[in-house]
Amino acid sequence: MLKTMKACVLRHPAPIERKPLEYTDVPKPVPAANEVLVRVSACGICRTDLHVIEGELRPRKSPITPGHQVVGVVEAVGAGVKQHRVGDRVGIAWLHSTDGTCEYCRASKENLCDAPSFTGWTVDGGYAEYALGEESFVYPIPDGFDDLKAAPLLCAGIIGFRALRLSAIERGGRLGLYGFGAAAHVAIQVARHWGAEVYACTRDERHQKLALELGAVWAGGTVAEPPKKLDSAIIFAPAGEIVLAALKALRKGGTLALGGIHMSEIPPMDYDLLYGERVVRSVANNTRQDGHDFLKVAAEIPVQISTEIFPLAEANRALNALKNDAIRGAAVLKVS
Ligand SMILES: [Zn+2]
Ligand SMILES: [Zn+2]
């Protein structure tokens, strides 16, 4: 007898205003060798989900269940699973698996793997009552975070952390954060823990207020120029024109990291904006080491997560709110 579960399924990408996710019954997955079956408790919502749903990221599996910040409990394990047991609380993140053999994997750069799979894009994700994880890519969740607060750690947190690393921010340095959603509201706490001074550039006034509450020394509009030159900056908002504003705010030799998987076109710019050995680099996925390192530091600080909770059946509404800057902190689907 085929068992079913509830899931939010995307059949055809469309603007979120048209409610493209269908809350429906689908077959409950069965773990293959080296996989764990997780009974999902919470799934964080990420802007990448919106890019998948609206078709800015080309569909890689259809229909697809999005969601890659999945927290729950292992309910069953496939053959050969050794690292997790039934009953363990775990998280499934964006990097679902890698080939382990390509030149990048062999060079400890598995985030750049030539043949990766991604949760909620190439394989079904956590907008569902159950999800599968590859055992060696599944994270133990630190105590001290309940399921709803832990979910945003898995992408907003980990990718924000990798972006911080790639921004080359140093103790006492000045860091600009462009866009102040789920990732930035975690990254600022890590940056301050590292002794950096944070400047927040974001269009939404409630997000500016949250940044100041979390210890930003200054908050202003997206293209407003911070009062001091920045050593490093990270752009989390998917708008290419911000690259020019951020470069303008960067001192000579500074680094600008682009934290998103998708960005609108970057306008032509005067070479002077880049000259002076400024560096622009993207952030692509993360290694498992980034994930483990971040979860450790997140528990040490401990980072405070602001969440807005939506029921699984209302994923369309939650994503619409995200698109319209109406989420303070991170949006999370409560599944069970
Ligand atoms: Zn690889
Ligand atoms: Zn994400």
Interaxial angle between packed helices 288-300 and 182-193, expressed in degrees from 0 to 180 and rounded to the nearest 10: 70
The token pair that represents 195 in the structure block? 């002794």
Whole-angstrom CA distances from 280 to 141, 163, 195, 202, 252 are: 33, 12, 23, 20, 12
Q: How far does residue 318's CA lie from ligand 2's centre (Å)? A: 15
Q: How far does residue 113's CA lie from ligand 1's centre (Å)? A: 4
Segment 271-287, tens digit of pLDDT? 999 999 999 999 999 99
Measure the CA–CA gap between 182 and 214, rounded to whole angstroms. 13
How far the first Cα of the chain sits from its last, in Å, is: 23
The bound ligand whose nearest atom lies closest to the alpha carbon of 104 is 1
Q: How far does residue 291's CA lie from ligand 1's centre (Å)? A: 17
The bound ligand whose nearest atom lies closest to the alpha carbon of 112 is 1
Residue corresponding to tokens 């059946």? 313
Residues 6+ apart with CB under 8 A from 1: none
Q: How far does residue 109's CA lie from ligand 1's centre (Å)? A: 8
Whether 2 has a pLDDT exceeding 80, the answer reads no
- pLDDT at 238 (0 to 100): 93
The bound ligand whose nearest atom lies closest to the alpha carbon of 99 is 1
Segment 137-162, tens digit of pLDDT? 999 999 999 999 999 999 999 999 99
- pLDDT at 59 (0 to 100): 86
Q: How far does residue 47's CA lie from ligand 2's centre (Å)? A: 6
The bound ligand whose nearest atom lies closest to the alpha carbon of 100 is 1
The bound ligand whose nearest atom lies closest to the alpha carbon of 159 is 2
The bound ligand whose nearest atom lies closest to the alpha carbon of 45 is 2
Measure the CA–CA gap between 292 and 143, rounded to whole angstroms. 14
Measure the CA–CA gap between 157 and 171, rounded to whole angstroms. 20
The bound ligand whose nearest atom lies closest to the alpha carbon of 107 is 1
91 in Cβ contact with 70 (< 8 Å): yes
Q: How far does residue 123's CA lie from ligand 1's centre (Å)? A: 17
Segment 53-81, tens digit of pLDDT? 999 999 899 999 999 999 999 999 999 99
Phi, psi of 202 (to 5 degrees): -155, 145
Of residues 236, 106, 116, the one with CA closest to residue 182: 236
Q: How many C-beta atoms surround the C-beta of residue 5 within 10 A?
A: 18
